[in-house]
Structure 1
Amino acid sequence: MPSLIIMFPLFIILTLQTSLTAGVKNPNPPVFLLPLIKDKATSLYYTNLNLGNNNQSPLTHSLAVDIGGGSSVLLRCNTAAKSTTYLPIGCNSARCKQAKPDLLCFNKTNTCGKYVSTSFTEHPLNTLLGLDSVSLLTLKPNGVTNTVHSSLTLACTNDANALKLMPEVVNGTIGLGKSSISLLSQLASMHRIRRNFALCLPSKPAGLGSLHIGGGSVYTNDVSKSLASTPLIVDGKSGEYFIDVNSIEIAGKIIPLDKKSRGNAMICTLAPYTVLQTSIYKALVREVVRETKMLRAAKVKPFEACFSSKGMRLAASVPVIDLVVNGGAKWRINPWNSMVKMKGDVVCLGFLDGGVNMKTTEMVIGGFQMEDHVVEFDLESSKFSFSSSLLLHNTSCSHK
């Protein structure tokens, strides 16, 4: 995998480094780099992470990216135990106290326990905490990578149903939430880097996207200059990330959002497509259908609005969709991020109806709408930043 990372275009590397620069605590902070892969069958974004040091042959785990996840790594306990260097964390140990346990101690094993939040379960998971080494790539300003080994606190569960919603292509998750044992928090604490990360989600299964954690050197390019920002809202209980979306604009038509509470749009990489509350969804479909210069086609589950693209160019036939966020910036969703290619010449609007009463939010911004954009989560300045589509800059997040 490292050899593949080195092949990332320097353009993307410098773009992400630029956005992660301000206010760095460490004068020479490492930038941690994880490659991201898109699973063709499920549209799930995951990374391959090496855990343990079993006779110099660590175990490679395929882990889904859960940006609101509370644990650096979440595995089934029988999977975590396959590493000969995995050590359960004792109840009264300093490491257990550092993890801020929930007064859980499993008497049979004297193992530290903690409830861990995830983006794919309604309630936090009851987990056991352990310690193992992880191999991570760090990135220098000139694009050269280096491997760093760190000891991480990770979580495992004995609940057979806990990870059943995860497709077989992965055997766990990495968490980037605000929890003290998330991957973001642990790396920030160990290496004195800013608590921020940036994603570049790939649109093609054959290509590699990237996850950058921490600060970097200053570079300038047109993508970093195009970054727009809005306040980032972190749910204090779940650790999920939210922003305020005031309205949706399509060809001059404004679809207002109710905004019953602060942070009405959750950002979630585990959701393959953006989900909207029913009234907002219906209004969006109505306007897109009205403005799209293509013939309607039969519905293709799970989508409602489908079209025939035969002989048509998406860019000229489909309206752009603007999410107007708090502060006035517009997150532009171009046709290649709104229309999903199906079989033959059929394309469908890649938004889903979340029902009349969505829990906690009116909108969940999913991965498809974020593909080929640089998106940054800066917890220290409470700011969420996003670029225009990289395709407009003759590049993308998908690289071999």
Structure 2
Amino acid sequence: MLLLLQTLVLLLALIISQEHESIAQYVPPYTTMVSPVHKHTDAATPLYSVQIDTLWEITRITHTNFLIDIDAPFIWHDCIPQWNKHPLTCPMFRLCVSPVSCEQSQCTKVRNSYSYKNRSCPPETNTSRLPGSGSCSCPINVMNPFTKSCSQALLNYDNLIVSTTNGRNPFSAFVVSTLNAACAPSSSFKLFPANVTGVMALSSSPYAFQTFFNQAAKRILALCLPSSNNSSAPGALFYGDGPYYFLPHSNFDITRFLSYTPLLKHPDSFGYFIGINAIVIKGRSIEIPMNATTRLSTTKAYTTLRTDIYTRVVKRFSKVTKRIPLAKPVAPFSLCFRTLITNGTRVGLKVPDIGFSLQDGKTWTVSTANSIKQVKKHVACLAFVDGGATSDEDAIVIGTFQFEDNLVVFDLENLRFGFSSSLLRRQTSCANFNFTNINTNRSLGY
């Protein structure tokens, strides 16, 4: 009898060992992942979320919308940390995850990896405890990107699901497991769009989402923001170096449209910065001071220019569009134009391109679709905003309106930023990735 038990234990150990070995050796069928991106117009300004699958009660999968934030140090969302996570113990329609204890090294590592200097941030202490265990939890601070208010969340171990892709379609599900995120109270999401219940960190932080992929996916993000809020025609977020195909160019890798410029580092920030030497409008260059920083943002709707730069841009743009009738300004814009309706059809404005002349000699071209915003039936405005004269802020912040229907790539492998300029001029758009899943039996790769 004893021999039989020993044999059973040995067989069980071998099975478990083989399962762990297969898990460790698992390689997804493709080196690129993809998630749909949605535009939301129900907030104060247009915002964008990435749709990620989450595991409810271990076996149930649902879609969750995370605000895209390329400045955030880690992921945080509306969830419940639970020490004893078992089926049926989690409240209905809530996501329950495993917490990180304050005694674990991961708690200290995450806390030491970022710093919020806002006075509203509470102290991070180790006194809080969750029901069901004597262990202390790990409070960390999160900051609302709109209100700049600070609140406290609890660090956890999370499992999020994305799809692998062959560049043309989603292929199969892939679980990004045991990543570190944080559970924040619902009050932390003030001014967020409806149905957006998390923040997806896509910054250069060591705890950004893409850092939890295996080496095959690389630390490369490609973001294509849609210009429409049509939920059935989303944009796309790719993790990995492609290829990326957008209809009707089903056999043309869209990365061929990309130009690159260096990504610059900035003290005390996980965000992305590039160098702009001048803003060029119809052959005339508006020089940018050498010490002026340019930040890329997914939470600012429109490109913001420091007052001294903004004034010169508006003056030059007014001069080259002087034949277009002016309209009364509509906040937050100061230069607006009348648009005409002919035979029931709006006649689009034709204005010169705006060029961001980059430090390495490349030019990021901003066409009419990304420089002129239709704000009323008969009014369209130059979609650049006066950021004020404050000298300690970034002189230029490039916002999401200028990203729409442009493929932009954050390449942390090679420390460079890729940009396509408008895809509309290439007879495609960010809504043209084919999200039809070619593998109906979604396999989970752990």
User: By the TM > 0.5 criterion, same fold?
Assistant: yes
Asked if residue 112 in structure 1 is aligned to residue 138 in structure 2, the reply is: yes
Residue type of the partner of 2:65? S
Residue 282 of structure 1: aligned partner: 311
Instruction: Please point out which of 271, 281, 290 is paired with 1:240.
Output: 271
1:263-282 → structure 2 map (5 Å cutoff): 264-282=293-311
Residue 229 of structure 2: aligned partner: 205
Any conservation in 1 of the 2:79–2:96 contact (CA below 8 Å)? no
Residue type of the partner of 2:181? L
Q: Distance in 2 between matches of 1:40 and 1:145?
A: 30
Instruction: Please point out which of 318, 324, 329 is paired with 1:299.
Output: 329
Q: Distance in 2 between matches of 1:39 and 1:99?
A: 31
Q: Distance in 1 between matches of 2:278 and 2:81?
A: 45
Instruction: Please point out which of 29, 45, 48 is paired with 1:45.
Output: 48
Residue 11 of structure 1: aligned partner: none
Residue 201 and residue 79 in structure 1: after superposition, are their counterparts in 2 closer, same or farther (change >3 A)?
farther
Between 1:85-94 and 1:290-299, the stretch displaced more is 85-94
DSSP 3-state at the match of 1:58 = strand
Residue type of the partner of 1:56? T
Residue 280 of structure 2: aligned partner: 249
1:98, distance to aligned residue in structure 2 (A): 5.7
Residue type of the partner of 2:183? C
1:135, distance to aligned residue in structure 2 (A): 1.7
1:217, distance to aligned residue in structure 2 (A): 5.0
Any conservation in 2 of the 1:101–1:113 contact (CA below 8 Å)? no
Q: Distance in 1 between matches of 2:60 and 2:96?
A: 11
Task: Map Cα deviations across residues 68-94 of structure 1 (whole Å, 9 max, x no partner).
Answer: 2111x3124559985464111112335
Residue 440 of structure 2: aligned partner: none
Q: Distance in 1 between matches of 2:391 and 2:33?
A: 35
Any conservation in 1 of the 2:81–2:99 contact (CA below 8 Å)? no
Q: Distance in 2 between matches of 1:236 and 1:140?
A: 37
Q: State the TM-score, normalizing by the size of structure 2.
A: 0.75
1:1-400 → structure 2 map (5 Å cutoff): 30-41=31-42, 42-54=45-57, 56-71=59-74, 73-76=75-78, 83=94, 85-93=96-104, 95-96=106-107, 99=110, 101=112, 104-109=124-129, 110-115=136-141, 119-120=145-146, 122=148, 126-141=152-167, 143-151=169-177, 152-158=179-185, 160=187, 162-187=188-213, 190-206=214-230, 207-217=233-243, 221=252, 223-261=254-292, 264-292=293-321, 293-310=323-340, 314=348, 317-357=350-390, 359-399=392-432
1:195, distance to aligned residue in structure 2 (A): 1.1
Residue 58 and residue 159 in structure 1: after superposition, are their counterparts in 2 closer, same or farther (change >3 A)?
closer
Q: Distance in 2 between matches of 1:79 and 1:49?
A: 19
Q: State the TM-score, normalizing by the size of structure 1.
A: 0.82
Residue type of the partner of 1:33? V
Residue 15 of structure 2: aligned partner: none
Any conservation in 1 of the 2:411–2:417 contact (CA below 8 Å)? yes
Residue 116 and residue 185 in structure 1: after superposition, are their counterparts in 2 closer, same or farther (change >3 A)?
farther
Unaligned runs of 5+ in 1: 1-25
Q: Distance in 2 between matches of 1:298 and 1:84?
A: 48
Residue type of the partner of 1:212? F
Residue type of the partner of 1:321? I
Any conservation in 1 of the 2:40–2:193 contact (CA below 8 Å)? no
Residue 101 and residue 127 in structure 1: after superposition, are their counterparts in 2 closer, same or farther (change >3 A)?
farther
Between 1:87-96 and 1:328-337, the stretch displaced more is 87-96
Q: Distance in 1 between matches of 2:312 and 2:305?
A: 10
Task: Map Cα deviations across residues 290-328 of structure 1 (whole Å, 9 max, x no partner).
Answer: 11131001111221111112158546x311100101101
Return the index of the structure with the highest Cα Rg.
2
Any conservation in 2 of the 1:105–1:111 contact (CA below 8 Å)? no
1:125, distance to aligned residue in structure 2 (A): 5.8
Any conservation in 1 of the 2:80–2:97 contact (CA below 8 Å)? no
Residue 29 and residue 107 in structure 1: after superposition, are their counterparts in 2 closer, same or farther (change >3 A)?
farther
Unaligned runs of 5+ in 2: 1-26, 83-89, 114-122, 130-135, 246-250, 435-446
Q: Distance in 2 between matches of 1:257 and 1:362?
A: 9
Residue type of the partner of 2:137? T
Q: Distance in 1 between matches of 2:253 and 2:97?
A: 45
Residue type of the partner of 1:307? F
Any conservation in 2 of the 1:29–1:215 contact (CA below 8 Å)? no
Q: Distance in 2 between matches of 1:217 and 1:320?
A: 29
Task: Map Cα deviations across residues 133-155 of structure 1 (whole Å, 9 max, x no partner).
Answer: 21211112553421112322111
Task: Map Cα deviations across residues 180-236 of structure 1 (whole Å, 9 max, x no partner).
Answer: 22102122xx45432110111101111310111123359884743331111102335
What count of residue pairs does the alignment treat as equivalent?
368
1:33, distance to aligned residue in structure 2 (A): 0.7
1:340, distance to aligned residue in structure 2 (A): 0.5
DSSP 3-state at the match of 1:167 = coil
Aligned residues: percent identity? 30
1:54, distance to aligned residue in structure 2 (A): 2.4
Residue type of the partner of 2:153? T
